[in-house]
Structure formats: C-alpha cells, structure tokens
C-alpha cells in the first residue's frame, strides 16, 4: 500500500444535495472507491477538515468547508529515471522530467511524481507546478516556489506569454516527398472524446493552434520541431496524427492500445525542449533548453 504524504482537498458544495452525512457525500464524489474503503479511512483518521479536525463517516455535511483526504493505491509503480533541475531562484524552479514520470499525483501514482520528488529533495513544501506535461512526455516543467508571486506565473501560460517548443519523432509516410524545412500550421477545434482522456478534432470555433517543422530525416523517421500556441490536452499528439504523422510509440493516437505493464523501452518520442519568457516578477529574459535526447533519433 502506498499512501500520499500530503493531503488532497475537496471543497464541499454550498448546498447539501441530499447527502445524509459527510461519508455519503465523499462516496458520491469517488464512485470507483467502495463505501467500505471510505468507512475504513474515516475510522483510521485519514479524513479531516482543512484545519486538521478529524471527522467521522457519519459527521454532518457542512457547506463550503474544505475537506482533506489521502490518496492510496495498493501498488505504486516506481519510475527508474531521474529528473534534473535546470534553474532555481527565489520564485521559480525549472526541472526536466523523464518519460513515464507524472508531474503531479494521479491514477496509480501518489508519491512517485515530479512534484513530490522535488518537494522532498529541495525541502520546498510550498512548491506548485504552474503547468503540466503528460506523463508520457519528457521535458521542461516550471514550478512556483512562493505563493505570493504564483499568480504571475500562472498568468504567463493563461495569456500565452510563454514560448514553448518541442521535439518529436514520427514515422514518415512512405509516399511523402517533403523537403527538410517543410512547415505546417494547424488550427482547429479539439474536444474530449471517448474515453474521456482522449481528444478529437471536431467542427466548430478554433481553440487549438500549432506549428510543425520537419528538421531532418533518417531511416524512415522524421525529426520535428513543434510549437503549440494554445495548451489543449494532447494537442500536439492529435495535430501530428491529423497530418498523418503519429508520434513514435504513441499508445493513444491514432489507436488506443490496451493498457499493459509499463514498457520503459518504448517512451513516447516527444520532448518539451524549450521554454522562453520574460519573468513577470524579476523582469529577467529566460530561455531554457533541455539537454535530453529522444531515444529513437541518432544525432
């Protein structure tokens, strides 16, 4: 059993929608976890209000209160690759994560994530990621170290004031005769598909924009530079697949493959290689670049 070292939070709705007690509310919010498991967690003191006061399963529902609980998984995978810290100052920390490691807790990962590794190694309990990368993607992730300046860094991403560049490797179509330097611009609408963690292109107002450039070719593969101008989930993966260039070792697109044990020999060939921005607090001009390489590409 692996238990999260830090509590997760949920804010109760402002109105009780018929829950007879706190335990029944929690069960309704997490239907994949059995009632018996929640009863055991409450009985063990693993659920409490934000101020630390422990609650019981039959405690009354209190509107708008913040409730804390600890995520648990029976067996948490261990990722045998290490992150590197590229930059740190009073307000931010920039790390380069390996493939397979999630940025934050989720699913079967509670402590084995980039955020918890950095919090423990650098003794930064208030560290928070200000953006995300897919677990399958390697590369640069920006963290805020101080709550007082955090909103300014969130705004960088929300307002598109940060430049992101990725490297990717994809199999070249056999009929393709594109020259090195071939450039594409993609603008369309992405929405959730089925299952809900997948995305799809649909008709409607544009909400996703990307640019792709073919940098080099070798042995039937292409090395691409990808520039997202918006930040939709799986945006680059879907846009590349839409061009007939699905990323190498992508287990979601164009076909969702069955879930299997982690295969560390075939990482998704996608790397968040560069971040550039004007620091909203210090005014410094930052341009960071990862030294990681994509496994499938021979320099």
Same domain, 44 and 100: no
102-152: pLDDT as tens digits:
999 888 888 899 999 999 999 999 999 999 999 999 999 999 999 999 999
Q: What is the pLDDT of residue 259?
A: 86
Same domain, 62 and 143: no
Q: What is the pLDDT of residue 262?
A: 86
Positions in the chain short of pLDDT 70? 1
Position 188 in a domain: yes
Same domain, 93 and 139: yes
Same domain, 128 and 160: yes
- Count of domains forming the chain: 2
Same domain, 57 and 93: no
Same domain, 119 and 66: no
Q: What is the pLDDT of residue 1?
A: 65
Position 197 in a domain: yes
- Which range of residues forms the domain containing residue 7? 2-73
Q: What is the pLDDT of residue 54?
A: 96
Same domain, 95 and 125: yes
Q: What is the pLDDT of residue 2?
A: 78
Position 194 in a domain: yes
Q: Write down which residue in 73, 95, 112 finishes a domain.
A: 73
Question: What CATH number is given to the structural domain containing 240?
Answer: 3.30.2350.10
Position 263 in a domain: yes
Position 78 in a domain: no
Position 59 in a domain: yes
Distances (CA, A) of 72 to 5, 41, 186, 276: 10, 10, 41, 37
Same domain, 56 and 111: no
Q: Write down which residue in 51, 73, 95 finishes a domain.
A: 73
């Amino acid at each position: 059993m692996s238990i999260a070292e830090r509590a997760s939070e949920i804010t109760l709705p402002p109105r009780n929608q018929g829950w007879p007690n706190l335990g029944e509310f929690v069960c309704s919010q997490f239907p994949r976890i059995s009632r018996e498991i929640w009863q055991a967690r409450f009985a063990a003191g693993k659920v409490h209000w934000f101020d630390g006061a422990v609650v019981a399963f039959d405690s009354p529902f209190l509107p708008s209160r913040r409730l804390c609980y600890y995520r648990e998984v029976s067996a948490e995978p261990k990722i045998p690759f290490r992150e590197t810290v590229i930059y740190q100052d009073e307000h931010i920390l920039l790390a380069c994560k390996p493939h397979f490691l999630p940025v934050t807790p989720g699913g079967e990962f509670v402590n084995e994530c980039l955020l918890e590794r950095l919090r423990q190694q650098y003794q930064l309990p208030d560290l928070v990621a200000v953006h995300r990368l897919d677990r399958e993607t390697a590369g640069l992730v920006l963290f805020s170290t101080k709550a007082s300046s955090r909103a300014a860094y969130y705004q960088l991403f929300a307002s598109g004031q940060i430049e992101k560049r990725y490297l990717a490797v994809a199999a070249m179509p056999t009929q393709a005769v594109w020259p090195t330097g071939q450039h594409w611009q993609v603008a369309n609408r992405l929405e959730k598909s089925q299952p809900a963690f997948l995305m799809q292109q649909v008709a409607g107002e544009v909400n996703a924009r990307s640019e792709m450039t073919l940098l080099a070719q070798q042995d039937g593969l292409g090395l691409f530079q990808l520039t997202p101008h918006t930040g939709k989930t799986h945006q680059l993966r879907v846009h590349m697949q839409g061009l007939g260039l699905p990323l190498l070792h992508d287990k979601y697109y164009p076909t969702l493959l069955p879930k299997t044990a982690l295969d560390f020999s075939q990482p998704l060939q996608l790397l968040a290689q560069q971040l550039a921005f004007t620091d909203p607090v210090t005014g410094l001009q930052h341009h960071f670049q990862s030294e990681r390489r994509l496994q499938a590409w021979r320099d």
